[in-house]
Amino acid sequence: MLYHLINYLGKAYDFPGERLINYISFRAGVGLLLSLIMGLVFGRRIIRLLKKKLIGEEVRDLGLNGQLQKSGTPTMGGVIILLCILVPTLLLADLANMYTWIMVISAAWLGVLGFLDDYIKVFKKNKSGLHGKFKIVGQVGLGVIVSVLLYTSDAFVVRDKVSAAFPEAQQVAAGNADNPRVIFLSEAHKSTKTTIPFFKNNEFDYTVLAPDVLGEHRQTAGWIIFMLVTIFIITAVSNGANLTDGMDGLAAGVSTVIGVTLGILAYLSSNVIYADYLRIMYIPNSGEVVIFMAIFIGALIGFLWYNSYPAQVFMGDTGSLALGGIIAVCAIIIRKELLIPILCGVFLAESMSVLIQVGYFKCTKKIYGQGRRVFLMAPLHHHYQKKNMPEAKIVVRFWIIAALLAIAAVLTLKVR
């Protein structure tokens, strides 16, 4: 809204500095600061309101260090994160850009889903919360919406680099007067291609997974495969973030590191010069994703002010499901979803620890009549807590691992 207002006033009155609002870097910086300040200012008030409304959950004694001290700490703190994401985005982002709306829809969709889960736990006193099948339906629903939008809307296109010898090649001027460059790109088009790490020609087309016998319908089958991949990624990452949210500052800190990395990748993909240099797909008009991710980072840092150990508020499913969804959708629309196993390695480890624990327990129970465990407790962060490692140390070490994985994910753009 503010973006459009300043542009309108600038055209009408031509006041000094009005063009700054058109720079992605400027709006990203302002958005980060605004969301951070909002988190600091309104976070305390929202926490006070949550306590007043008795929105807290009793934490059972699981034999974990300091766990009993968290009894009565309010949950639903994800409301702070969502508020600090959505308001600055609506103010600073280009609302005519579909990339803005796909990110807003993703945040709001899973935020509402998580809110319903927290509401049932807190107000209905049902510790199970929203039934698992309804969560899956919500996550699958978002996956369908995102994939259908990417398939049907003409706003979501890519431009490949092609040889000047091809008739469809289009010259794009880049650089500046001192260093002029001409880049040959294809026309903007729909594509089922994505970036695959560690390969020289690092573009993978989902259509190759469709059988040749489909003939002219092979491209449609490629989009169906892409839809299934999108649904799986959104479900997996949002659940992974949800499982990681078990210690003060853990999910928020890890998500901040991932958000910074995705912001960098989005900026590279939206800039024709950097995309050409790194030989990755150029995605026109995706610069608004950079602004959204900068706001995302600021909101998480503001939330960490109150969520760091010892936490004054928990994000609950309201926040964790939304964080995972935002990360997944951002990776998908900039065609970096195959980097998620590296970039979201902490989420993956947390999810796998639960799957391994449950699967091994059930198998050994059938064989031996008594279930056995691989980990002292799952998810993985509780395993280390059971080993008497201080919570704050576990959280910081997971942050460090997330940072190392983020660096590795960025390096895959050059390591082929």
- Mean pLDDT per 10-residue section of the chain, whose length is 416 residues: 80 77 93 97 92 58 50 86 96 94 96 93 82 92 95 88 53 56 74 85 86 85 94 96 94 97 96 86 93 97 94 93 97 95 96 96 91 93 94 96 96 85
- Residue 185 host element (H or E): strand 180-185
Name, in order, each residue with C-beta under 8 angstroms of 17's C-beta and a sequence gap of 6 or more. Answer: none
Distances (CA, A) of 412 to 106, 254, 327, 340: 27, 20, 18, 12
76: CB partners within 8 A, 6+ apart = 50, 55, 115, 118, 119, 122, 314, 316, 318
Return the domain boundaries, the chain.
Answer: 2-411
User: What is the C-alpha to C-alpha distance for residues 316 and 114, in angstroms, rounded to an integer?
Assistant: 8
Question: What's the predicted TM-score (pTM) here?
Answer: 0.92
Q: What is the pLDDT of residue 18?
A: 76
SS3 240: helix
Question: How many residues appear in the chain?
Answer: 416
- How many Å apart are CA 16 and CA 292, to the nearest integer? 26
Residue written as token pair 């608004």: 288
Residue located via tokens 């994160």: 81
Cα 256 to chain centroid distance, Å, stands at: 9
| Integer Cα distance of 234 and 135 in angstroms | 12
pLDDT for 297: 98
Helix (H, G, I), strand (E, B) or coil at 72: coil
Contacting residues for 112 by C-beta, under 8 A, at least 6 apart = none
Structure-token pair, residue 353: 């620890």
ω before 197 within 30° of 0 (cis)? no
What's the pLDDT at 200?
Answer: 74
**Cβ contact 266:330 at 8 Å:** yes
Rg of the chain taking only CA atoms, in angstroms: 23
Angle at 83 between CA 78 and CA 89, to 5 degrees: 130
Q: How far is CA 172 from CA 155, 179, 286, 399, in A?
A: 19, 14, 17, 41
The pLDDT value recorded for residue 182 is 67
CB-hemisphere CA count at 13 Å for 399? 16
Q: Pull the structure tokens for residue 249.
A: 């500052």
Number of Cα atoms under 13 Å in the Cβ half of residue 29: 7
